[in-house]
Amino acid sequence: MRYLTPRKRAEGLGAARHGTAHHVAMNVSGWALLFIVPVFVVVLARTIGHGYEHVRDTFANPLVAVLTALFLFVGMRHFARGAQMAIEDYAHGGTRTALVMLANAVSYLTIAAGFYALIKLAL
Amino acid sequence: MSAPKRVERPLSPFMIGPYYRPQITSISSIMIRITGLGLIVAIALITALIFAAAVSKPAFDCVNWFATSWLGWLIWIASAWAVWYHLLGGVRHFLYDAGKFMDIPTAEKLGWGMFIGATVLTVITIIIAVV
């Protein structure tokens, strides 16, 4: 008697080793960024080029801080997944694993550095 | 029974160039990936600027010197174009996923629309930054 169904045997054997979860996650974060990014770009366009006090005051504003935190978190997770897609197209074996880990590390470290700065500016 | 046979699957070749002539549909698609990956430069600079502003004035002056140098402004403007292009590309993905605009003449117009749209939005962004 076979305990594993043919479907179970086939799961995870696609080119990407998984199903639609990746695509769904990119769409969900993509929709979120569609609203976050235009507002953040305008805030940034009005801030870059100004001096120390102006930049500190801008990012100490709670609304701007929350917007920036959302941008960094949703944006960098979207980036890591997108980079993973590109890596899986061109790199294989151990290189692929290492590069995917690197993309995720860059993503989380950027989020962490950004959150640290925003919290420090808010206090 | 449960262990599937390991096979070396063939890798898909890179099609544009040796097998396909560059077309606006394929070029506009690969540009989404290039702009998406390239945006890491701007995000690193944004994070460095905020981080430095939180740490100390000398640190901020150092990062801000680079961010407002000619290379810095080049990065900001290129990244503005990249982020708008990538965003329009995402919208096109949503439209395609909904099964809309799939006929070739419309798809080609959408490709050109992304380049033109991103350029227009970049000019608007520069105006917002300067005015």
Q: What is the pLDDT of residue B3?
A: 64
Q: Provide the residue ranges of all domains of chain A, joining segments of one domain with +.
A: 25-122
Q: Mutating which of A44, A54, A81 best tests the B interface, going by the most B Cβ atoms within 10 A?
A: A44
In a domain, residue B44? The reply is yes
Between vectors from CA B84 to CA A107 and to CA A40, what angle results, nearest 5°? Answer: 60
Tell me the mean pLDDT in the region A36-54.
Answer: 95
What is the least distance, in Å, from the CA of A18 to any CA of chain B?
16
pLDDT, residue B4, reads 66
Question: What is the residue type of B90?
Answer: G
B130: number of Cβ within 10 Å: 8
Rounded to whole angstroms, the Cα distance separating A39 from B49 reads 18
Alpha carbons B26 and A106: distance in angstroms, whole number: 29
How do residues B45-68 score in pLDDT, each as one tens digit?
999 999 999 999 999 999 999 999
Compute the count of residue pairs across chains A and B with CB atoms less than 8 Å apart: 102
Which pLDDT value is given to residue B121?
A: 97
B10 pLDDT tier (thresholds 50, 70, 90): low
- Of the pLDDT bands very low, low, confident and very high (cuts 50, 70, 90), residue B17 is confident
Q: Quick check: A34 contacting B, CB < 8 Å?
A: yes
Query: How far apart are the C-alpha atoms of B13 and A89, rounded to whole Å?
Result: 10
Residue pLDDT, tens place only, B74-121: 999 999 999 999 999 999 999 999 999 989 999 999 999 999 999 999
CA distance B54 to chain A (A): 5
Name the residue range of residue B70's domain. Answer: 34-130
Residue A88, SS3?
helix
For the segment A19-48, the average pLDDT, to the nearest whole number, is: 92
In chain B, what residues touch A52 (CB-CB under 8 Å)? Answer: 53, 57, 60-61, 64
* Residue A118: per-residue pLDDT: 97
Share of chain A above pLDDT 90, in %: 72
A118 touches chain B (CB under 8 A): yes
What single string gives the DSSP state of each residue in B21-35? ---HHHHHHHHHHHH
Residue B97: inside a domain? yes
**B1 pLDDT more than 60:** no
Selecting from B9, B47, B126 the residue whose C-beta is nearest the C-beta of A110 gives B47
Tell me how far apart the alpha carbons of residues B114 and B105 are, in angstroms, rounded to a whole number.
Answer: 15
pLDDT > 70 in chain A, percent? 94
The CA distance from A115 to B2, in Å, is 46
Please give the tally of structural domains in chain B.
1
* Banded model confidence at residue B14, pLDDT cuts 50, 70, 90: confident
| Confidence bin at A16 (pLDDT 50/70/90) | low
Could you give the count of Cα atoms lying within 13 Å of B9 in the half-sphere of its Cβ? Answer: 12
Average predicted confidence (pLDDT) for chain A: 91
| Start-to-end CA span in chain A (Å) | 65
CATH number at residue B92: 1.20.1300
- The DSSP output letter for B6 is P
Give the pLDDT score at A10: 74
Residues in B closer than 8 angstroms to A49, CB to CB, are 68, 129
Distance CA B32, CA B81 (A): 11
Once rounded to an integer, what is the mean pLDDT over residues A106-115?
A: 97
ipTM rounded to 2 decimals = 0.88
**Using 50, 70 and 90 to split pLDDT, how confident is the model at A15?**
low
Neighbours of B71 (CB within 10 A): 10
